Amino acid sequence: MAGATGDLGFRIAQELRKRGATVRALVRPGSTKPQVASLREQGVGVVEVDFNDAPALTQACAGAACVVSALSGLREVIVTAQAQLLDAAVAAGVPRFIPSDYSIDFTKLPEGSNRNLDLRREFGRRLDQAPIAATSILNGMFMDLLTGQAPVILFKIKRVLYWGSADQPLDFTTIANTAAFTAAAALDPTTPRYLRVAGEVATMRGLQAAASAATGQRFRRLRVGGLWLLKLLIKVTRRLVPAPQEVFPPWQGMQYLHNMFTGLPKLAPLDNARYPDIRWTTVQEVLVANLATAQHAR
């Protein structure tokens, strides 16, 4: 596993252990993150390795049935580091690779509509050329963001904010469910190139109902404008606050929302039923569980 010290990756490692798998986490040399000790306590083998050291990385991949990446970053991570990991996996004879995609269906999006997803498509082309079986997990937006970063449900003013149509179906999955599904897929040698899941498919009307039910207060919808307006806003924001080194600057989140509101990257068909032990968390459950923090934040 690469990225096991990260938010999603740590949970994938946990889920793999829960399923009885032998897990090796490839962490940066000298990493002092508390997750490293925690991984060790859970029986995960921790290997410190520099991704630029091809022989060491190949050695670290040796004997694995599947390499799982949950790396996060820009070009130097999603394209460069993942390519180093891919080359090492191939050199070590690993049969399967799961890239760090975990997103809306970028295979259906035009080039240039989302910087971070363009990088995933670019790495995907490389992956498809490599002599290794690949499976991408596509999960829509992390549902957890609805009570965090994503400015969609505004608790203080009791509004759900959107562009375009209130009837556009959108895909949401919790980080925990994404981790559980990824772990199950990593242990399943028969997975296809893409697996698509959504804990809940909700329209803005659905989010409005979920927010109202979770809080016991009536939420209204706030349509800011058409998708053309959001596109314009993204352009302006990107010009004013470019933050080119940030993985998730505000304009990137706006690109993600714009993509979702177009309906183009909608996940279909869904593979939720593939591993029946996974119980999918709903938006309302996430809102209820995180109400205190969410109401405080917005």
User: Closer CB to ligand NAP, residue 12 or residue 214?
Assistant: 12
Using CB under 6 A as the binding rule, the residues of this chain from 115 to 154 that contact ligand NAP are 139, 141-142, 145
Instruction: Return the half-sphere exposure (C-beta side, CA atoms, 13 A cut-off) of residue 175.
Output: 15
User: Closer CB to ligand NAP, residue 139 or residue 262?
Assistant: 139
The four Cα atoms 161, 166, 178, 84 give a dihedral, to 10 degrees, of: -80
Position 81 contacts ligand NAP (CB under 6 A)? yes
Task: Tell me the window of 28-36, 123-131, 193-201, 223-231 that interacts with ligand NAP (CB under 6 A).
Answer: 28-36
Per-residue mark of binding to ligand NAP, 240-269 (x: CB under 6 A)? ------------------------------
Position 223 contacts ligand NAP (CB under 6 A)? no
Question: From the CB of 10, what's the least distance to ligand NAP, in Å?
Answer: 8
Position 3 contacts ligand NAP (CB under 6 A)? yes
User: Closer CB to ligand NAP, residue 194 or residue 212?
Assistant: 194
User: Closer CB to ligand NAP, residue 102 or residue 155?
Assistant: 102
Spatial neighbors of 100 by CB under 8 A, at least 6 apart, are: 2, 3, 69, 70, 71, 72, 78, 82, 120
Number of residues that bind ligand NAP (CB under 6 A): 23
Question: From the CB of 223, what's the least distance to ligand NAP, in Å?
Answer: 23
Question: From the CB of 217, what's the least distance to ligand NAP, in Å?
Answer: 26
Position 70 contacts ligand NAP (CB under 6 A)? yes
User: Closer CB to ligand NAP, residue 160 or residue 176?
Assistant: 176
Question: From the CB of 40, what's the least distance to ligand NAP, in Å?
Answer: 15
Nearest-angstrom CA–CA distance, 6 and 12: 10
Position 282 contacts ligand NAP (CB under 6 A)? no
User: Closer CB to ligand NAP, residue 6 or residue 95?
Assistant: 6
Among 13, 61, 68, 71, binds ligand NAP (CB under 6 A): 71
User: Closer CB to ligand NAP, residue 203 or residue 212?
Assistant: 203
Question: From the CB of 211, what's the least distance to ligand NAP, in Å?
Answer: 19
3-state secondary structure the chain: CECCCCHHHHHHHHHHHHCCCCCEEEECCCCCCHHHHHHHHCCCEEEECCCCCHHHHHHHHCCCCCEEECCCCCHHHHHHHHHHHHHHHHHCCCCEEECCCCECCHHHCCCCCCHHHHHHHHHHHHHHHCCCEECEEECCEEHHHHHCCCCCEECCCCEEEEECCCCCCEEEECHHHHHHHHHHHHCCCCCCCEEECCCEEECHHHHHHHHHHHHCCCCEEEEEECHHHHHHHHHHHHHHCCCCCCCCCHHHHHHHHHHHHHCCCCCCCCCHHHCCCCCCCCHHHHHHHCHHHHHHHC
Q: Which residues bind ligand NAP (CB under 6 A)?
A: 3, 5-9, 28, 31, 33, 51, 70-73, 77, 81, 100, 102-103, 139, 141-142, 145
